[in-house]
Amino acid sequence: MTPELSHPLALGDIGEDEVVVEITADANQRRRLAARFDLVAVAAIEAVLRVHRAPAGRLLVRGRITAEVVQRCVVSLEPVAARIEAEVARTYAGGRAAAAGPEVVVEALAGEIVEALPAGALDLGEVVAEELGLAIDPYPRKPGASLAEAPAPAASPPSPFAVLARLRRQG
Q: 66-125 pLDDT, tens per residue?
A: 999 999 998 889 999 999 999 999 999 865 444 444 544 445 555 667 888 888 889 999
For residue 125, give Cα distances in angstroms to 27, 45, 54, 90, 111: 15, 11, 21, 13, 24
Q: 22-50 pLDDT, tens per residue?
A: 999 999 999 999 999 999 999 999 999 99
Helix (H) or strand (E) holding 19: strand 19-24
Q: How high does pLDDT run on average in the chain? A: 84
How far the first Cα of the chain sits from its last, in Å, is: 65
Residue 48 in contact with residue 63, Cβ under 8 Å? yes
pLDDT band at 168 (very low <50, low <70, confident <90, very high): confident
Q: Please tell me the predicted confidence (pLDDT) of residue 38.
A: 95
Q: Please tell me the predicted confidence (pLDDT) of residue 33.
A: 97
Task: Of 77, 74, 17, give the one whose Cα is nearest residue 51.
Answer: 17
Q: At what angle do helices 124-135 and 27-36 cross, to 10 degrees?
A: 50
CA dist 30 and 49 (Å) reads: 19
Q: Global pTM?
A: 0.75
* Least confident segment among 14-23, 24-33, 47-56, 159-168: 159-168
CA dist 163 and 149 (Å) reads: 33
